[in-house]
Structure 1
Amino acid sequence: MSPCKAFLLLGSSQVLYFSAGMLLMGMAHAVITFKGTHLASHGSLSESQAWAKVWAVFFIEICGSFSAQAGVQGHIKMHHAHTNVIGLGDSSVWKAPFLPRTVYLFIAPWPCLSSLHLLHSVRGAKAPKKSRQFMTHLRGNSVAVMVRTVLMVTLGLYSQYWLLIHVSGFLSPLSALLCMFVCRAMFSVTYIHINIFQHIGLHMFSATSRPKRIYQMTHGVLNLPRNPCWTGCSDTRLSTATWSTISSPSSLITCVKPVVSKYLTEKKLPYQEDSYFSRLRLFFNKYQELMVFAPPITELVGVQ
């Protein structure tokens, strides 16, 4: 298994093997956390609700170092239910308009993947509505759930630290912690890019005058075709947005994609798709318009 090989390679004194271990550890962490937490939040890993909750705790809390209940609330009940609805599901959690475009797109995700959301959330009344509701959900948890989350997150972090010390042979606690940080942050840039590229810059809707869900999904979601840089970390978004219960292995999503495309074409609805690098150019050139200023609300007049 890749994580096991990564720990062994990280114990090597040769730069090439050590670097390979770092890359392998980063890739394994990205796939386990990004892909695993996404599947777990959808309850796609088991038909049993009890086991689905167990997997959610394992992937989201132990592997992803985040609250399982808050993750499901934010992704399923907010993002999917209110895709591109301003103030609810508009991916506002990833916006940091005070940062220059180069810093936001290529530098900030490394140290700030988790703290960017925290910065928005702790602003209280000044925070976006989505962030305030997200923090309210966290505060509303029972003491038992909060204690469990702290224990599971601690278990996940300490387990990786323990393996680096006792299997990889790191002599310094600081070097082990630094290795953990680099591996966990390695694909943070790509992760944030995927989150914003597939929604922001498309049609945005008001909470009080949103269109029917089929129009909301087809006008507010964009597919990023498979790319070697991020295929292991993400799914084909329009297919999973249209039928969120199939958030499962890429092979199944690949089978569903032509069905979704054909259906939307027959109904004369858009099937939006663009390449990763095309979206990157768009966001870099129109950063002020897309990420700093509030996006305009779309009125889909005459299509419903």
Structure 2
Amino acid sequence: VEPVEPARGGAGGADAMLRELEALVQDVVTASSWWERHGVDCAILALSLLALPAGFLCLRSENVLVFAIGVTISGVCHYTLTVKGSHLATHGALTESKRWSKIWLLFFVEVCTAFTAECAKHGHVKMHHCYTNVVGLGDSSTWRLPCLNRYVYMFLAPLLLPIITPLVAMERLRQVELRTALRTLGLISLGLYSQYWLLLNVSGFKSPRSALVCMFLIRSLLAHPYLHVNIFQHIGLPMFSRDYKPQRIHMMSLGVLNLPRLPLLDWAFGHSIISCHVEHHLFPRLSDNMCLKVKPVVSQFLREKQLPYNEDSYQARFWLFLRCYEELMVQAPPITELVGLQ
């Protein structure tokens, strides 16, 4: 692995740079309206909820094209609520109210996504964000399945996500208090049964089996890009050890990558997961829209300070992972030599 060159100023210089960047970003946030800070993303989530009835009604049709439109509407709305909604709720980026943040966290993570709110917050916020690309802690290793070959992993494994997610949630219930486990079990059951009930009673499916198959189609519609994005933006970039991890601004500039704007994924996953992932890791409490708004400030600052600002296309990363799958996803990731950054 190529060593990382030292930045001027050492740890003190890194802290000063981060404070300078935080001040620039805070100026943008302060000058932004509530609509820009929270309203745009709340409106996208509200539109997704409002569009669900149209999806369920289209699924009533015997016309193949109309039925396919129903699956598409329902699937995109599902991923907008489960990925974009859960991600923003996990970071408390939907509202400045702590009470409503808790409510939205339970709704989007447990009801919509069928996962445990406490485990989602611990794994994503406290581990992945605090220890980004630190081997064994926040290195996206939960997405690595060395037992699978490249083609099974990249093309078939994503289809298992709708089934694996609630099963993993059930296993994680052992780690929480009984009261929390009962609440989580109830909310997950509510979310899954509600969709099943609507398919039977609104979409008009005649048998439980056909309704379950349609649930699977809806919940797996964007599973491939979801799995791909989760590995593209961290794995293959510099990895660090816990004892010799760099300062925060170096960690995020070195270990995070932005993909280009992709309209469908921007809508369903959010800018902070697609084209503003570097900005999101530096400022995780910003909403998707605000990450997009501060992107020019962050990119210009990092480039002026001669820090990495990683960007690559979806296609380029896809072919990289197919070509280097053994190295990136099967073998243990090598730790980057940090010259002068400790």
> Please, what TM-score do these two structures have when normalized by structure 1?
0.90
Separation (CA, whole Å) in 2 of partners of 1:161 and 1:113: 14
Q: 2:323 pairs with 279, 285, 292, which one?
A: 285
Separation (CA, whole Å) in 2 of partners of 1:230 and 1:78: 25
Q: 2:279 pairs with 229, 239, 248, which one?
A: 239
Separation (CA, whole Å) in 2 of partners of 1:209 and 1:154: 43
Match of 1:98 in 2: 147
**How far off its partner does 1:255 sit?**
1.3
Which stretch shifts more, 150-159 or 256-265? 256-265
Q: Does 1:162 align with 2:176?
A: no
CA RMSD of aligned residues (A): 1.8
Separation (CA, whole Å) in 2 of partners of 1:302 and 1:242: 21
Matched AA of 1:164: L
Separation (CA, whole Å) in 2 of partners of 1:274 and 1:209: 27
**How far off its partner does 1:118 sit?**
6.7
Q: Does 1:23 align with 2:72?
A: yes
Q: How does 1:186-265 map to 2 (within 5 A)?
A: 186-232=221-267, 233-234=269-270, 235=272, 236-246=276-286, 248-249=287-288, 251-265=289-303
Give ranges in structure 2 of 5+ residues lacking alignment: 1-49
Separation (CA, whole Å) in 1 of partners of 2:175 and 2:189: 21
Q: How does 1:1-304 map to 2 (within 5 A)?
A: 1-112=50-161, 115=164, 138-232=173-267, 233-234=269-270, 235=272, 236-246=276-286, 248-249=287-288, 251-303=289-341
Distance 1:237 1:113, change over 3 A: farther
**How far off its partner does 1:62 sit?**
0.1
Separation (CA, whole Å) in 2 of partners of 1:116 and 1:264: 37
Distance 1:155 1:72, change over 3 A: same
**How far off its partner does 1:285 sit?**
0.5
Identity value in percent: 49
Distance 1:113 1:237, change over 3 A: farther
Which stretch shifts more, 279-288 or 109-118? 109-118
Separation (CA, whole Å) in 1 of partners of 2:163 and 2:330: 20
> Please, what TM-score do these two structures have when normalized by structure 2?
0.80
Separation (CA, whole Å) in 2 of partners of 1:117 and 1:181: 13
Give ranges in structure 1 of 5+ residues lacking alignment: 123-134
Is the contact made by 2:89 and 2:105 (CA closer than 8 Å) also made in structure 1? yes
**How far off its partner does 1:302 sit?**
2.7
Separation (CA, whole Å) in 1 of partners of 2:104 and 2:245: 34
Separation (CA, whole Å) in 2 of partners of 1:89 and 1:116: 19
1:255-275 deviation digits (Å, cap 9, x = unpaired): 111111111112211111011
SS at match of 1:245: coil
**How far off its partner does 1:303 sit?**
4.5
Is the contact made by 1:198 and 1:223 (CA closer than 8 Å) also made in structure 2? yes
Separation (CA, whole Å) in 2 of partners of 1:191 and 1:32: 13
1:109-164 deviation digits (Å, cap 9, x = unpaired): 10145638978x98xxxxxxxxxxxx5xx534111100000000000001111111
SS at match of 1:108: helix
1:177-230 deviation digits (Å, cap 9, x = unpaired): 110011101111110111100000000000111111111111000001111352
Is the contact made by 2:114 and 2:166 (CA closer than 8 Å) also made in structure 1? no
Matched AA of 1:147: L
Separation (CA, whole Å) in 2 of partners of 1:215 and 1:300: 10
The structure whose RCO (Cα within 8 Å, separation 6+) is larger is: 2
Is the contact made by 2:86 and 2:105 (CA closer than 8 Å) also made in structure 1? yes
Runs of 4+ residues deviating >4 angstroms: 116-119
Q: Figure out how many residues of one structure are paired with residues of the other and give that number.
A: 287
